[in-house]
């Protein structure tokens, strides 16, 4: 597997006209990490203990072997000729900061998690070498729009706005969750229970959009809305949560569950669909009309069938977010 940062290309120049709308898509998104500090850093000061199995039973060692699968000729035949001839699948993902989705292993330099693992399975099924490249949450729409990668695995949820610019091949259910102090006694399985609480959230995320909708609902019912506080660093919000400056933190469910598994002072107090009040899915994100989405969805379907997909989700504690099938989602066929 090749891994290197995304670099500007000549195609990026042609994409200048896309910058404003694509940046807006990131701003209304559900980032795999709206922070830059790993949960490991938040929980133990950022150092590596050189071990492998963390407190939640997840192996975070750098030498962890990726789960692999084999090429499916029928699926590979769906590839666009340009990608088939190149022999590699260029996938953008995060630089590390949202366990168990994409984060740095114990050596603080190797990227691990569900996102790169699932990208590897897709590349294997298509008979391609995985060329993993790193980008930030804010930049992934620009990089994808500029043609610097074939797909993005970055905990991206399918939304009507994104379907205007991208095609999608789903690979996980999408949930958000409340992280609260373990001794708080809070039960937030009913979202109206946030009335009067102080809730932390990252700005410009799907979580913030859902929280705003909940507050509007509370206000319309004559109830006190939650006070919203914005944070951009994971360490800062966990410090605020632990010190009582905020009552709850609404974030992506996998990361909330991972943090709770690492620390005995936090628990998950309620989980909701990321598309609330509707359902949505997390998906590999591809340039709209690139011709790759059919092959990509077929590859995901194939790894679901052969069992390697379940092995990856089991490894990272996300078995309850598994899908039973994948199909292309496009503007024409959402």
The DSSP letter of residue 321 is G
Query: According to the model, what pLDDT value does residue 332 have?
Result: 96
What is the spatial order of strands in the sheet that 248-252 belongs to?
Answer: 227-230, 198-201, 248-252, 175-181, 266-273
pLDDT on residue 96: 65
**Look-up of token digits 């990227």:** 111
Closest CA to 102 of 117, 91, 90, 87: 117
- Residue 176 corresponds to which tokens in the numbers above? 């958000």
Helix (H) and strand (E) counts for the chain?
13, 13
Give residue 23's pLDDT.
Answer: 42
Give the CATH architecture of domain 2-174+280-321: 3-Layer(aba) Sandwich (3.40)
Q: Rounded to whole angstroms, what are the CA distances from 35 to 81, 140, 233, 252?
A: 38, 15, 5, 12
* Choices 3.40.190.10, 1.10.230.10, 3.90.1150.10, 3.30.420.40: CATH for 175-273: 3.40.190.10
Residue 36, classified by CB atoms within 10 Å of its CB into exposed (0-12), middle (13-18) or buried (19+), is middle
| Residue closest to 142 by CA, chosen among 258, 44, 51, 22 | 22
Q: Do domains 2-174+280-321 and 175-273 have the same CATH topology?
A: yes
Smallest Cα–Cα separation from 101: which of 247, 259, 227? 259
> What pLDDT is attached to residue 234?
84
- 161-179 b/e (C-beta count within 10 Å ≥ 16 → b): ebbebbbbbbbbbbbbbbb
Residue-range domain boundaries for the chain: 2-174+280-321, 175-273
Give me the residues of the chain with pLDDT under 70, please. 1-56, 96
The per-residue pLDDT for 60 is: 87
**What was the pLDDT predicted at 205?**
83
Q: Where are the alpha helices (DSSP H) in 221-285?
A: 234-243, 253-262
* Residue (of 168, 220, 164, 171) closest to 192 by Cα position: 220
Residue 69 near residue 121, CB atoms below 8 Å = yes
């Amino acid at each position: 597997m090749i891994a290197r940062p995304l670099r500007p290309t000549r195609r990026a120049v042609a994409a200048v006209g896309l910058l404003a709308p694509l940046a807006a898509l990131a701003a209304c998104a559900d980032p795999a990490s709206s922070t830059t500090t790993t949960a490991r850093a938040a929980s133990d000061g950022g150092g590596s203990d050189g071990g492998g199995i963390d407190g939640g039973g997840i192996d975070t060692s750098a030498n962890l072997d990726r789960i692999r699968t084999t090429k499916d000729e029928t699926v590979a035949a769906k590839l666009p000729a340009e990608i088939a001839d190149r022999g590699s699948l260029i996938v953008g993902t995060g630089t590390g900061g949202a366990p168990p989705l994409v984060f740095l292993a114990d050596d603080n330099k190797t990227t691990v998690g569900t996102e790169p693992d699932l990208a590897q399975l897709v590349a294997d099924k298509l008979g391609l070498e995985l060329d993993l490249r790193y980008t930030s949450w804010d930049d992934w729409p620009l990089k994808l729009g500029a043609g610097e990668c074939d797909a993005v695995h970055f905990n991206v949820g399918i939304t009507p706005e994104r379907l205007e610019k991208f095609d999608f091949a789903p690979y996980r259910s999408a949930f958000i969750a409340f992280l609260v102090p373990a001794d708080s006694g809070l039960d937030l399985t009913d979202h109206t229970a946030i009335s009067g609480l102080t809730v932390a959230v990252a700005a410009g995320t799907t979580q913030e959009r859902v929280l705003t909708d909940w507050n509007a609902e509370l206000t319309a019912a004559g109830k006190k809305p939650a006070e919203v506080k914005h944070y951009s660093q994971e360490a800062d919000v966990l410090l605020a949560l632990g010190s009582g400056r905020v009552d709850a933190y609404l974030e992506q469910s996998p990361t909330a569950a991972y943090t709770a598994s690492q620390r005995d002072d936090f628990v998950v107090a309620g989980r909701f669909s990321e598309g609330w009040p509707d359902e949505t899915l997390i998906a590999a994100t591809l340039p709209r009309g690139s011709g790759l989405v059919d092959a990509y969805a077929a590859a995901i379907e194939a790894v679901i069938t052969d069992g390697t997909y379940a092995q990856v989700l089991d490894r990272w504690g996300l078995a309850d977010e598994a899908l039973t099938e994948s199909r292309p989602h496009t503007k024409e066929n959402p």
